[in-house]
Structure 1
Amino acid sequence: MRLNILVAALAVATATTAHAGTYEIDYTSQNPAIYGDVIVTASDTPAGGPFTVTGITGSRGTDTITALSSYAGSDQLVYAADPYFDLSGVSFSTASSGDFNLYTSNGSYYELSSNLDPVGYPSNGVPVSITISAVPEPASIAVLAVGILGLGVMLRSRRGIAATCT
């Protein structure tokens, strides 16, 4: 019984308020060559954002994303709810395919390519479908692990009590 109280106290003591600092962005297009799996790190702001993107990794097609870019006048903002980007969008550079910008216009998502449009005019974007999700923080995963461990300890101790009663 004391162990159960100790585990519960530990879980409460280590619990922190969750905030999304990292987002995974997956996008595809009707053109099979246009797709991406992007992880962005963003500043902490109140729920709903906008969150300022401070780092980026992942891939665009078969090319590696190397850094954030100022292509197409990007403001590097991402929102927690749809629409996830504004007209300025989020821009990034790749190892060998140039710069790209993901943005929203008239309720739809687009990708711009510096190879096709060096200036970055929004009217030249290719329509894409986007899925964005918050990546869980390590602290949230730790709280979950402590809770599962506590349940295991509690079930084990109950089996021990049941065995001694029979």
Structure 2
Amino acid sequence: MSDAAKWYVIHTYSGYENKVAQNIEKAVENRQLHDLIHEVKIPTETVVELKDNKKREVERKLFPSYVLVKMVMTDDSWYVVRNIRGVTGFVGPSSKPIPLSKAEVEKLGVEEKKVEVDYKVGDTVKVIDGAMEGFVGIVQELDIDNNQVKVAVSMFGRETPVELELSQVVLMDE
């Protein structure tokens, strides 16, 4: 089988997601399977709830009853994960594990991509993607944590601030 680790989706009993993730991590530790099973994730989102006129931040599972595992698919790794208590099987036709595609992994936001930029506040940049493609502007703000850059673009003779993703602009050669 393939030597590269890929993301697979595991179906679990409802409410067992955290327990399954812990048990997989424990099995990896106990059996020294770090080279086969790399990561275990439960996709969550933080939601603000209003209850009794009080705001509360609550973490909710995006996909209840599912756990994501980055692993190299071998008979051993398949057997270990499949036999964890609470796991009902892998997602795929007739329980044959099918890895997530790169597009699916990106869309789910499972792997965090670090974007390195070679521009700073005050630099002249060119927009290379999106609705503002081809425009040139000056960087006003950089928010690397949120993958955002604010660029002042000249439109119709006026400076207009535009918020873009970091990867949508490149440094202009001066």
- Shorter-chain TM range is under 0.3
Structure number having the greater helix percentage: 1
Q: What is the TM-score when the length of structure 2 is the normalising length?
A: 0.27
